[in-house]
C-alpha cells in the first residue's frame, strides 16, 4: 500500500531554523529514513541527514521523531497512521550543524575522560584468562552502537546545558561500569564515577533505558550497580568495617 | 542566558519552537503513578493511626499493625507477638517500630525513586519532556544524598518480612479451636509471599548477594543467588505495585472481618 504522508522536518542551522512541511510518498515496509531519502531525491536535495548502515548497527541516524529520540532507520512507517503528521527534528541535546545533523563531540570528549582498560602490570597481552561468568555482565554493555540516543534523552544534560561539564551521561557511566566489572581491570573506578563522571546526578528515571535501540538495561545493570558500589565505598560503615577486617579479594 | 534559553532552547541547539513534540499520552503514566501513590498514602496513613479493627478472629493481624508493640495492643488480646512497650498515644501507630522503616524502604527504593521523581518532581515527567526546574543536581546533595542509605532500610525490611511471615504462620492457631484454616489465612500467606518477592528483588539485595563481586567464578553460591535475584529484580516495579495493592486488600480483609462486616470462611477446622 502506498499513500501520501505528511511530514514536518526541521531545517536550519545553529543560527536558526524552522519546521518545514512536506507531502511525500510512503510505501509499505518503509522506515522513516526511506522517506527522508525520498525527500532528498525529489524535493529537498540539500536536506542534511547522517546515516550509514540502515540496519540499526552504526548508530549514525539518531534523531527525534514525534518528539521521541529514535533511529531513523529503525522506525517503521507502519507505527504511524497514514493521516498522522510525522515530525522529524535533530537531537535536541547537542548543537545542531545543519538540518538533522548534530555535533556529537560532547560524547567523544566524555569518552576520553575515562581512564582506559588497566590490566595487572605483570600480565602480558595473550596471557589474559577470564571465565565467561566473569565477563558476561559487561558483554551486555558492549552491544552499544554509540548512537547517543541515551545521551540525548537524559534530562540531566538535555534540560541543563551547564551539567555537560560535570556529567558523562548514561553511555559513558555504563562504560565505567563495564571496566569496573571487568575481571582483569585493576583500576578503582568507584570514586571517579561519582566525582569526575557525575553519577550522583543520575536520578535513575530510566529514560536512557527506554530509548536504547539495543535494549541495554543501562539503568538496572550499569547505573544502579555503580550507585551501590559508590554506597559501599562512601556511605556504608559496615562494608568499610568488613573490608578493614578481612581484606579478602572481591 | 535568559530563563527561556534553558535546556532544549540553549544556544547552539536546533531552535524548534516547541519545548516538546511528543504526540502520545506521555502524561498518563506520571498521572496514574501520582494517583496510585496518593491512594496508598492516604489509606495507609488513615489505617496506621486508626488503632482499631487490626486483629480479627483472635488470630489475623493486619500487616499495618505488625509487630503490635504498643500498650494499646492489649485491647486485642493475642495481637502482640513481641511484647507491648510503646505508649498508647493517638499519634503513635501501634506498629511504630516497623512502619517508619517500611516507609523509608519504599521511599529510598530505586523503583519508587523513579516513580516519584517522574510523577511528583516532574524531573522528568516523561522522556524528552522538559522538566520545569531551573537547576538540577540530582542525588548529589542533602537531602537526596540520603538515598544511599537504601541498603539499611533493606536490612530492616528483611526483619519485618520475617515478622510478617511469623504472623501469617501463627494465624493458623485459634486460641480455642486449635489449628484452623480460613480464607484469611490464604490472604495473609499470599500477602507475605508477595512482600518477600518485593523485598528480595530489591537492587540493594541484588548487590549485596553477589552484584558487588567482580569474580563471580570464585563465588559460585553467591553467583547463583545473584542470577536468581536478578531474574526477580527485572520485575521489581511489578512487585512494588502488586504489594501496594495486596497490602491494602489484606488490611481491608482483616478490618472488615474485625468489624464484623464480613465473616471469615473456615476451610478447615
Ligand atoms: S536513568 Fe540516569 S542516566 Fe539514564 S536517562 Fe535517567 S538520569 Fe539520565
Ligand atoms: S547505550 Fe544504547 S542508546 Fe546509548 S549510545 Fe549505546 S546503543 Fe545508543
Ligand atoms: S526496594 Fe526497590 S530497589 Fe531496593
The average confidence (pLDDT) of chain B is 96
Last-in-domain residue among A100, A120, A145: A100
Backbone angles phi, psi at B174, to 5 degrees: -95, 135
Model pLDDT, residue B4 = 56
A236 or A54: which carries more pLDDT confidence? A54
Cβ contact B131:B110 at 8 Å: no
Q: Does residue A228 lie in a domain region? A: yes
- Claim to verify: residue A233 and residue A144 sit in the same structural domain: yes
Identify the CA nearest to A71 among candidates A84, A53, A47: A53
Query: Containing H/E element for B95?
Result: none
Q: Which residue has the cell 543560527?
A: A15
Per-residue confidence (pLDDT) for residue B29, from 0 to 100: 98
Q: For residue A146, which phi and psi values (nearest 5 degrees)?
A: 55, 50
Establish if B138 touches chain A: CB-CB under 8 angstroms: yes
The span from the CA of A38 to the CA of A13, in Å, is 22
Instruction: Tell me which residue range forms the domain holding A37.
Output: 2-100
Per residue in B47-78, pLDDT tens?
Answer: 999 999 999 999 999 999 999 999 999 999 99
Which atom from ligand 2 is nearest to the alpha carbon of A212? 3
Same domain, A147 and A231: yes
Q: Which three cell numbers stand for residue B165?
A: 511471615
pLDDT digits (tens, 9 = 90+) for B21-33: 999 999 999 999 9
Q: Are A67 and A92 in contact (CB under 8 A)?
A: no
Question: Does the pLDDT at position B35 exceed 90?
Answer: yes
3-state SS class at A145: coil
Task: Give the pLDDT of residue B269.
Answer: 83
Shared domain check, A216 and A116: yes
A49 within some domain: yes
Residue B153 Cβ contacting ligand 3 at under 6 Å = no
ipTM: 0.95
Q: Do A250 and B234 touch (CB under 8 A)?
A: no
Q: Are A152 and A144 in contact (CB under 8 A)?
A: no
- pLDDT class for A1, splitting at 50, 70, 90? confident
- Copy the grid coordinates of residue B213: 563481586
pLDDT (tens digit per residue) in A143-165: 999 999 999 999 999 999 999 99
- Residue ranges of E strands in A54-212: 62-65, 68-71, 85-89, 96-98, 101-102
Look at residue A243 in the predicted model and tell me its pLDDT. 74
Output the pLDDT for position A250: 56
Q: What is the CATH number of the domain that holds A45?
A: 3.10.20.30
Residue A198: pLDDT above 90?
yes
Give a yes or no: residue A224 inside a domain. yes
* pLDDT category of residue B2 using cuts at 50, 70 and 90: very low
Helices B236-259 + B28-50 axis angle, to 10:
40
- Residue pair A179/A117 in contact (Cβ under 8 Å)? The answer is yes
Residue B86 has φ and ψ, to the nearest 5°, of -80, 145
Which contiguous run of DSSP H or E holds residue B84?
A: none
* Residue ending a domain, choose from A66, A100, A134: A100
Using CA atoms, how far residue A41 sits from A20, A37, A47, A177, B94, in Å, is 16, 6, 10, 44, 74
- Contact list, A158 vs chain B (CB under 8 Å): 7-8, 128, 130
- The structural domain count of chain A equals 2
pLDDT for residue B1 is more than 70: no
> What's the pLDDT tens digit per position in B161-198?
999 999 999 999 999 999 999 999 999 999 999 999 99
Residues A147 and A228 occupy one common structural domain: yes
What is chain A's mean pLDDT, rounded? 95
Are A117 and A96 in the same domain? no
Q: Taking Cα atoms as reference points, which of B243, B228, B155 lies closest to residue B196?
A: B243
The answer to whether the Cβ–Cβ distance between A224 and B14 falls below 8 Å is: no
How far, in Å, are A170, A207, A219, B230 from residue A141 at the CA level? 11, 16, 11, 16
**Quick one: A114 and A88 in the same domain?**
no
For residue A247, tell me if it sits in a domain.
no
Q: What is the pLDDT of residue A249?
A: 53
Helices and strands, number each (H, E), in chain A: 10, 7
CB-CB contact of A212 with A140 (8 Å): no
Note whether A183 contacts B138, CB cutoff 8 Å: no
Q: Is the pLDDT of residue A33 over 90?
A: yes
- Domain contains A233: yes
DSSP state of A67: T
| Domain residue ranges in chain B | 24-130+143-268
Residue B45 has pLDDT above 50, yes or no: yes
The closest residue, in CA terms, to atom 2 on ligand 3 is B109
Q: What integer is the mean pLDDT of B86-108?
A: 97
Regarding the beta carbon of A171 and ligand 2, being less than 6 Å apart is answered yes
Q: Which residue has the cell 518485593?
A: B198
Say which of A67, A69, A228 has its CB closest to residue B204. Answer: A228
Confidence of residue A248 (pLDDT cuts 50, 70, 90): low
User: Are residues A64 and A49 located together in one domain of the fold?
Assistant: yes
Give the pTM: 0.95
Model pLDDT for residues B189-233, shown as the tens digit of each residue: 999 999 999 999 999 999 999 999 999 999 999 999 999 999 999
C-alpha cell, A173: 557511566
Whether residue B188 contacts residue B166, with contact meaning beta carbons closer than 8 Å, is answered with no
A237 pLDDT band, cuts 50/70/90, is confident
Q: Let me know the angle formed at the C-alpha of A134 by A130 and A140, rounded to the nearest 5 degrees.
A: 115
- Read off the pLDDT of each residue in B134-150 and give the average, rounded to a whole number: 95
- Which of A100, A121, A149 corresponds to the end of one domain? A100
Distance from CA of B192 to the nearest CA of A (A): 25
Q: Residues 26 to 55 of B: which have CB under 8 A from any A CB? A: none
Distance CA B142, CA B89 (A): 32
pLDDT exceeds 70 at position A170: yes
Amino acid at each position: 500500500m502506498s499513500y501520501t504522508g505528511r511530514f514536518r522536518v526541521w531545517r536550519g542551522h545553529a543560527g536558526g531554523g524552522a519546521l518545514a512541511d512536506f507531502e511525500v510518498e510512503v510505501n509499505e515496509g518503509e522506515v522513516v529514513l526511506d522517506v527522508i531519502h525520498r525527500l532528498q531525491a525529489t524535493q529537498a536535495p540539500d536536506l542534511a541527514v547522517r546515516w550509514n548502515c540502515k540496519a540499526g548497527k552504526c548508530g549514525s541516524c539518531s534523531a527525534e521523531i514525534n518528539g521521541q529520540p529514535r533511529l531513523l532507520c529503525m522506525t517503521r512507517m507502519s507505527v504511524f497512521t497514514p493521516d498522522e503528521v510525522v515530525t522529524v527534528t535533530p537531537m535536541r541535546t547537542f548543537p545542531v550543524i545543519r538540518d538533522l545533523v548534530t555535533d556529537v563531540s560532547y560524547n567523544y570528549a566524555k569518552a576520553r575522560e575515562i581512564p582506559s582498560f588497566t590490566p595487572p602490570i605483570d600480565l602480558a597481552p595473550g596471557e589474559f584468562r577470564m571465565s565467561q561468568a566473569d565477563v558476561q555482565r559487561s558483554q551486555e554493555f558492549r552491544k552499544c552502537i554509540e548512537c547517543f540516543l541515551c545521551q540525548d534523552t537524559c534530562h540531566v544534560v538535555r534540560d541543563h546545558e551547564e551539567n555537560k561539564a560535570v556529567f558523562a551521561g548514561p553511555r559513558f557511566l555504563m562504560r565505567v561500569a563495564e571496566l569496573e566489572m571487568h575481571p582483569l581491570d585493576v583500576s578503582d573506578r568507584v570514586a571517579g564515577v561519582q566525582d569526575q563522571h557525575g553519577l550522583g546526578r543520575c536520578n535513575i528515571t530510566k529514560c536512557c533505558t527506554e530509548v536504547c535501540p539495543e535494549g541495554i538495561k543501562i539503568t538496572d545493570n550499569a547505573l544502579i550497580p555503580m550507585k551501590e558500589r559508590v554506597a559501599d565505598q562512601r556511605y556504608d560503615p559496615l562494608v568499610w568495617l568488613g573490608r578493614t577486617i578481612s581484606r579478602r579479594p572481591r | 542566558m535568559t530563563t527561556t534559553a534553558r535546556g532544549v532552547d540553549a544556544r547552539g541547539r536546533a531552535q524548534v519552537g516547541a519545548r516538546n513534540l511528543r504526540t502520545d499520552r506521555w502524561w498518563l503514566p506520571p498521572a496514574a503513578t501520582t494517583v496510585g501513590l496518593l491512594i496508598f498514602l492516604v489509606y495507609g496513613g488513615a489505617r496506621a493511626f486508626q488503632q482499631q479493627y487490626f486483629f480479627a478472629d483472635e488470630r489475623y493481624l493486619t500487616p499495618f499493625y505488625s509487630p503490635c508493640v504498643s500498650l494499646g495492643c492489649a485491647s486485642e488480646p493475642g495481637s502482640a507477638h513481641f511484647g507491648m512497650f510503646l505508649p498508647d498515644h493517638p499519634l503513635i501507630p501501634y506498629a511504630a517500630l516497623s512502619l517508619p522503616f517500611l516507609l523509608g524502604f519504599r521511599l529510598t527504593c530505586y523503583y519508587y525513586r523513579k516513580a516519584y521523581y517522574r510523577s511528583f518532581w516532574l524531573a522528568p515527567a516523561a522522556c524528552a519532556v522538559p522538566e520545569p526546574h531551573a537547576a538540577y543536581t540530582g542525588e548529589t546533595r542533602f537531602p537526596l544524598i540520603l538515598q544511599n542509605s537504601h541498603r539499611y532500610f533493606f536490612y530492616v525490611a528483611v526483619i519485618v518480612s520475617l515478622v510478617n511471615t511469623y504472623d501469617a504462620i501463627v494465624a493458623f492457631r485459634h486460641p480455642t479451636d486449635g489449628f484452623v484454616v480460613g480464607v484469611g489465612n490464604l490472604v495473609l500467606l499470599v500477602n507475605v509471599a508477595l512482600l518477600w518477592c518485593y523485598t528480595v528483588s530489591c537492587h540493594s539485595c541484588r548487590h549485596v548477594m553477589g552484584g558487588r563481586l567482580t569474580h563471580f567464578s570464585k563465588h559460585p553460591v553467591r553467583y547463583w543467588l545473584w542470577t536468581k535475584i536478578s531474574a526477580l529484580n527485572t520485575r521489581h516495579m511489578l512487585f512494588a505495585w502488586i504489594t501496594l495493592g495486596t497490602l491494602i486488600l489484606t488490611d481491608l480483609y482483616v478490618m472488615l472481618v474485625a468489624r464484623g462486616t464480613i465473616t471469615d470462611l473456615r476451610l478447615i477446622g
